[in-house]
Amino acid sequence: MLKIISYNVNGIRAAIKKGLVEFIAANDYDIICIQETKAMLEQVDMTPFEELGYHHNWHSAEKKGYSGVLTLSKKKPDLVVNGLGIADYDKEGRLIRTDFGGITLLNCYFPSGTSGDIRQDFKYAFLRDIFLWIEELKKERKQIILVGDYNIAHTEMDIHNPKSKNSGFLPEERAWMTKWFESGMVDSYRYLNPEKVEYSWWSYRANARANNKGWRIDYQSVTENLKDKLVESYHIESARQSDHCPLYLKLDI
């Protein structure tokens, strides 16, 4: 079995202070994909993670205290590649690829468009480019898992207020998600839980988490050839190190 969690920690140093290491130590995950580290490796003492048996591979943003992804794995990857090879995204630390045998795992932090039109346009460009990039990757690697914060709620089931006209639930973003899941990728959580309503992110405003006024914007997509390997997927809503919660995936691999 392969047990993966994906977790936007909204700053790994803050999350460590809120019990991130203890949360990981209490469980037995094979791989932990972290988004929004907001740190460089030299700013974080990784000894506690190493003592738990994890290798760590970082792709940090050039800008301090911003973005960044980190993949922790019990097994050392066969290959590690930082970024998509597109400078605008790579300088923001948006994606890290780790290969484990026949599996390619992509840990990704999609851009947010909430700060205005410039970043929304950047997000649309990223959506276009990562789709094309993965289509090319599929020619070389047949079994792909892409986990992370996609910053998009796909359907009305995935948002507490489906009348929202905000970034993250715009028609163009939702259409991209539909295209994504029609391109040979499977939404693991929705495949295993077709009728369930759970969220992965809550605003810090207006007591949103206590009232469960959230969005499902974190996903674990797998190629169609892994669909029959999916065993379990759920949100670990009890974890409180961030404004997101971790998403758990278990595969029979």
Quick check: 143 and 225 in contact, CB under 8 A?
yes
CA distance between the termini of the chain: 5
CA distance linking residue 96 with residue 98, whole number of Å: 7
For residue 208, pLDDT over 90 is answered with yes
Per-residue confidence (pLDDT) for residue 95, from 0 to 100? 98
Instruction: List pLDDT tens digits, range 101-119.
Output: 999 999 999 999 988 899 9
Structural domains of the chain sorted by starting position, each given as residue range(s) with its CATH number in brackets: 2-251 (3.60.10.10)
pTM: 0.97
Give the gyration radius of the chain's Cα atoms.
Answer: 17
When pLDDT is averaged across residues 1-5 and rounded to a whole number, the result is 97
Quick check: 167 and 152 in contact, CB under 8 A?
no
Q: Which residues are the active-site residues?
A: 149
Per-residue confidence (pLDDT) for residue 206, from 0 to 100? 86
Per-residue confidence (pLDDT) for residue 147, from 0 to 100? 98
Per-residue confidence (pLDDT) for residue 203, from 0 to 100? 93
Quick check: 125 and 119 in contact, CB under 8 A?
no
Per-residue confidence (pLDDT) for residue 19, from 0 to 100? 98
Q: Which position has the token pair 């404004």?
A: 243
Quick check: 134 and 144 in contact, CB under 8 A?
yes
Interacting residues of 180 by C-beta distance below 8 A, sequence separation 6+:
131, 221
When pLDDT is averaged across residues 229-250 and rounded to a whole number, the result is 97
Quick check: 66 and 115 in contact, CB under 8 A?
no
When pLDDT is averaged across residues 219-224 and rounded to a whole number, the result is 98
CA distance linking residue 2 with residue 229, whole number of Å: 10
HSE (CB half, 13 Å, CA atoms) of 95? 25
CA distance linking residue 216 with residue 18, whole number of Å: 22
| DSSP H/E element including 19 | none
Quick check: 200 and 215 in contact, CB under 8 A?
yes
When pLDDT is averaged across residues 66-78 and rounded to a whole number, the result is 98
> How do strand 2-8 and strand 31-35 relate by DSSP bridges?
parallel
CA distance linking residue 242 with residue 202, whole number of Å: 9
* Residue 216 φ/ψ, nearest 5 degrees: -100, 100
When pLDDT is averaged across residues 72-85 and rounded to a whole number, the result is 98
When pLDDT is averaged across residues 46-66 and rounded to a whole number, the result is 97
Per-residue confidence (pLDDT) for residue 70, from 0 to 100? 98
Mark out the alpha helices in 202-248 (DSSP H runs). Answer: none
When pLDDT is averaged across residues 123-152 and rounded to a whole number, the result is 98
Nearest to 149 by CA among 191, 109, 193: 109
Average pLDDT, the chain: 97
Percent of the chain whose pLDDT exceeds 90: 97
- How is residue 9 annotated by DSSP? -
Per-residue confidence (pLDDT) for residue 120, from 0 to 100? 97
Six-digit token string for 116: 């205005």
Output the CA–CA distances (angstroms, integers) from residue 136 to 6, 144, 182, in the order listed: 24, 12, 16
pLDDT band, residue 243 (cuts 50/70/90): very high
